Amino acid sequence: MSSLLSKSRGAVAHRFKRLRAQSFRPPIPAGGDRPVEMDRDVVIDCGWGRLLFGQTFDDAAVLAQVMRAEAPDRRDIAFYIRDPHVALAAAPQELFLDPSHTFRLDLTTYRGSRRLARGFHIRPLASREDATAVNSILAARGMVTVPPDFFERNKESRVVRVFVAEDAGSGEIVGTVMGIDHAHAFRDPERGSSLWSLAVHPQARSPGIGAALVHYLAGRFKALGAGFMDLSVMHSNDEAIALYEKIGFRRVPFFTLKRRNSFNERLYVGPRPESDLNPYARLIVDEARRRGIGVEVTDAEAGFFRLSYGGRIINCRESLSDLTSAVAMSICDDKAVTRRVMERAGLRVPAQVETDDPAERAAFLKEVGQVVVKPARGEQGRGISVGIDTAEALEAAVERARTVCERVIVEEYVEGEDLRLVVIDYKVVAAALRRPPRVVGDGESRIRDLIERQSRRRAAATGGEAHIPLDGETERCVSRCGFGLDDVLPAGMEIVVRKTANLHTGGTIHDVTDIVHPTLVEAGVRAARAIPIPVAGIDLLVEAPDKPFYAFVEANERPGLANHEPQPTAERFVDLLFPQSVPAAARLTELRGPAPG
C-alpha cells in the first residue's frame, strides 16, 4: 500500500514539474472541422492569477497541487471542475468551493445589442498608460491588480484578450474586460470562451459601460467562431446576475475552486462580527487585523470600535480616535471658529458673514457676486448650497441650511476645484479632487431617472455611503442648466446635478497625490497644526492640484479614509495609533532612510 502511495505521489510531482515548465499553449491546427485532441493540465496566466481549466485535468491531485503553488498576492481560479468533492479532498485545508454561479451565453443564437454606446467607446488595451488605468479600476473595485508588463507581453496574444472602455470626452479609461479564447488556450473541441475581470470605474458617468463591454467581448468571440461564452459571478450579486440574464446568459452546473488566502478569506470564513461596519470603519479594522491588533466592535451602526495592542487600548469612530482632543473637535465642528483659527494661522480664507438680517445677507451677496450657504455645524454636505447668485435663492438656501443647524453662514463663493487633503500625523497621506455628481443624457431617459441610476451606481460603489438626493438643491442645479427633472436630456450632453462635491451626496474622488503642489501640502499641514489635530481632512478650493492658489474651506475631524486608492490611508492611521505594530523592516527603513540608487 505504501509503495503504491509513493508511486502515486511521484507521478503527481512529475506532472506538476512538467506543468510549471509550460509557458504557452500551441495554436489550434488548420483544417476545418478535423477532430483535435484537447491539451491536458492547462494553466493560463491572466496577470491577476492563473486560470486552471478543470476539464483538462484527469487527476484531481495534480490540480490541487497546482492550486497550492499560487503566487503571493495572486488569485488562482480552477474553473469547470468535474468532481469538486474529489479535488477538495486532495487539499481540504487549502482549497474551498467558491460560492459563485456559472452563466453561459450561447453565441450560436446571440444577436448582439441594438443599444449604441454613448459617451464612450471600446477598444483593445494598447499601452502602459492603459494598463495603469486598468489597475486603478481594479484597485477601486477591490480586485487583484495586474503587473503592467503582463499586458505588454500579451498584446498580441490569441488566448488572453483585454479590452477597455474609453470616455469620449476626457479620454479616461472607465472600464475593462478580459476574455479567454478556449480554442487557442487548449484546443477546446467545444470552441468555448470565457469572460473575466469585468470592472467599471465606480465614478464613471456614462451608463451601460459594463453591459457594453460584455456585448463587445461576446461579439468578438462570436466572430472568431466561438460557440459560447461563460462567466462566474458571486451568488449574492443580484444586480450583476440580472444584467447577465437580460443579455441572454443562462446558469449552467459548473463549479469553481479557489485557494484559501487573505484575499479570498471573506468567501470561506463566513460573515465577521464587524460585517455591518461601514466602509470607512471596515477599512481600518481590516488593516488592524492584518497586524494582529485586537478589534472589538462597540457599535457597528455608528462605526465605533476599540483597538488593543501590547497593553495599549484606543477607541475609534472610523478615523476619529482618542488621540483627537475635544477642543480640536470643537474647532472643526463650528465652521465660523475654524475659519478664524485658519485666518490667524495665515491661511487664505474666503470672506464670510453670519447674520439673521436678510438685508445684510443681500448686501454681502451684492458685494461678492456669488455665495455658498452652509450650516455652521454639520457634516457630509447636508444643508449646503453652492453658487447662489440671487437674493431669493439666498433666502431659500438659508432655510435649507437651518434644517441642519439654526446658525447659518454665508460665505464668498470662490471658483475652483474641491481638493481634499488627508493629513495624518501632520503629513499629507493622500490628496484627491472631489467633483460634484453629473449625469450624461442618452436621449431617452428623464433627468430624474438618470440621477436615480447614477445614485444607485454610486451607492453600490461606496457600500451604500453615497447617494444623490432628489431635493430642492438638486432641482435648483438642474434648473440652472436649463432643464427640469422630468425633461429628457439630449444624448451625449452632460450636466452637473449638484454643486457640492461631497462623497455622501454623490460626488466622485480622483487621486492627485503624486502631482499636488508643495504650497497646498504646506497649507494642509499648517491647518492641521493650527487646530491642532493628528488626523484631519483639510478641504481647499484650488485652481488646479498642481498650482499654488487655494482658499481654505473647512477641516473635517473624521475624514473618510476609503476611496483614496492607491494611497495607504488606513496603514498610516494604524501606524499613528500603534507605532510598534509597524513591520520591523519598515521601521528600520524609516530610521536609515531610503536605499541608495
**Domain formed by 1-120+181-270, architecture:** 3-Layer(aba) Sandwich (3.40)
**Helix, strand, coil abundance in the chain, percent, nearest 5:** 35, 25, 40
pLDDT of residue 187: 94
* Homologous superfamily assigned to 351-413: ATP-grasp fold, A domain (3.30.1490.20)
φ/ψ of residue 406, rounded to 5? -65, -35
C-alpha cell at 411: 460665505
Question: Residue 168: which of 494, 533, 562 has the closest Cα?
Answer: 494
d(CA 60, CA 67): 11
Q: Which residues of the chain form CATH 3.30.1490.20? A: 351-413
464-465-469 Cα angle (round to 5): 95
pTM of this prediction?
A: 0.65
Helix (H) or strand (E) holding 196: strand 192-200
Contact 84, 246 (CB under 8 A): no
Contact 225, 164 (CB under 8 A): no
Cis peptide before 579 (omega within 30 of 0): no
d(CA 542, CA 148): 32
Sign of CA dihedral 22, 95, 235, 561: negative
- Paired with 542 in beta bridges are 417, 550
pLDDT of residue 77: 96
24: exposed, middle or buried (C-beta count within 10 Å: 0-12, 13-18, 19+)?
exposed
For residue 363, CA distances in Å to 360, 389, 393, 398, 463 come to: 5, 12, 14, 15, 43
pLDDT of residue 4: 33
Contact 552, 418 (CB under 8 A): no
DSSP state of 471: S
* Phi and psi based region of residue 507 (left: phi greater than 0; alpha: psi -120 to 50; beta: remaining): beta
pLDDT of residue 2: 35
For residue 576, CA distances in Å to 422, 425, 429, 558 come to: 14, 7, 12, 15
d(CA 102, CA 77): 13
Measured in whole angstroms, how far is the alpha carbon of residue 432 from the centre of its chain? 14
Per-residue pLDDT tens over the stretch 330-368: 999 988 899 999 999 999 999 888 888 889 898 989 888
DSSP string computed for 294-345: EEEEEETTTTEEEEEETTEEEEEETTEETTS-HHHHHHHH-HHHHHHHHHHT
C-alpha cell at 20: 510549471
**10-residue averages of pLDDT along the chain (597 residues):** 40 46 42 67 96 95 94 93 90 93 96 83 94 91 89 90 93 96 95 96 86 96 97 92 95 94 78 75 90 91 93 96 97 91 95 89 89 83 83 89 89 90 97 89 89 83 78 87 92 85 80 96 97 97 95 94 89 95 60 41
pLDDT of residue 1: 36
> Strand, coil or helix: what is 78?
strand
pLDDT of residue 387: 83
pLDDT of residue 3: 38
Question: Residue 162: which of 201, 131, 118 has the closest Cα?
Answer: 131
Q: Which residues of the chain form CATH 3.40.630? A: 1-120+181-270
Cis peptide before 532 (omega within 30 of 0): yes
C-alpha cell at 297: 466592535
Place of cell 484627491: 432
